[in-house]
Amino acid sequence: MVSGLINANPIVYEKKERRVRNEAAVPDEYAVEPIDQLEIFYHIRDIKDPEHPYSLEELKVITEDAIEVDNERSYVRVTFTPTVEHCSMATVIGLCLRVKLMRSLPSRYKMDIRVAPGTHATEAAVNKQLNDKERVAAALENPNLLDMVDECLAPSYA
């Protein structure tokens, strides 16, 4: 790895086996299909890390267990774990997660994206920024940042 990276040698984990989701026995195309943890995980597992050629799943930045879904309240919470404590890419990763879910989930869903407690030196600041929709909106109007986000999201649409 080229030096100058925030985390030059991240630990790479194996991808989880791709399970087939349990579909309803009698599919009813008019029923509102509840969204579960696994579905959210599938939307975000292949997002590429901003500075490594690995997915967020391979780096264990996200795991299925760190996803909370409450269909009754149309609420999703994703807690992610940056690879190192001072990872300055945490905001970009959070932005990628938010954008991917904004584009994938029905608009009624409310979401909170958070850094796992104790995993980031400026946890509160990162969380506050990621959940301020005005700052997110402004960031996504920045062409350079949007390019970076879209590049990370590309594998997740494959």
Partner 1 sequence: MELLDGNLELKEIQKLQGHTDRVWSLAWNPATAAADVPKVFASCSGDKTVRIWEESPSTRSWDCKAVLEETHTRTVRSCAWSPSGRLLATASFDATTAIWENVGGDFECVSTLEGHENEVKSVSWNASGSLLATCGRDKTVWIWEVMPGNEFECIQVLQGHTQDVKMVEWHPTMDILFSCSYDNTVKVWWSDDADGDWSCVQTLGESSNGHSSTVWSLAFNAKGDKLVTCSDDLTMKIWEADIIRMQSGDGYAPWNHLCTLSGYHDRTIFSVHWSREGIIASGAADDAVRLFVESKDGSMNGSSYQLLLKKEKAHDMDVNSVQWCPGEKRLLASASDDGTIKIWELGTLP
**Closest separation between CB of residue 57 and partner 1, Å?**
29
Bridge partners (DSSP) of residue 139 are none
Q: Is 135 in the site for partner 1 (CB under 8 A)?
A: yes
Q: Is 103 in the site for partner 1 (CB under 8 A)?
A: no
25: tokens are: 């026995």
Q: Is 72 in the site for partner 1 (CB under 8 A)?
A: no
Q: Is 15 in the site for partner 1 (CB under 8 A)?
A: no
Q: Is 108 in the site for partner 1 (CB under 8 A)?
A: yes
Rounded to an integer, what distance in angstroms lies between the CA atom of residue 8 and that of residue 19?
31
72 or 134: CB nearest partner 1: 134
19 or 108: CB nearest partner 1: 108
Q: Is 138 in the site for partner 1 (CB under 8 A)?
A: yes
Q: Which residue has the tokens 């791709």?
A: 18
Order the strands of the 110-115 sheet from edge to edge.
Answer: 67-70, 75-80, 110-115
Rounded to an integer, what distance in angstroms lies between the CA atom of residue 144 and that of residue 149?
9
**Closest separation between CB of residue 11 and partner 1, Å?**
35
15 or 133: CB nearest partner 1: 133
Q: Is 128 in the site for partner 1 (CB under 8 A)?
A: yes
Handedness of CA 68, 45, 105, 135 (dihedral sign): positive
Rounded to an integer, what distance in angstroms lies between the CA atom of residue 79 and that of residue 82?
10
Residues with Cβ < 8 Å from 102, sequence gap 6 or more? 111
Q: Is 21 in the site for partner 1 (CB under 8 A)?
A: no
Q: Is 68 in the site for partner 1 (CB under 8 A)?
A: no
Task: Kindly list the residues in this chain that would bind partner 1 in the complex (CB under 8 A).
Answer: 107-108, 110, 128, 132-135, 137-138, 141
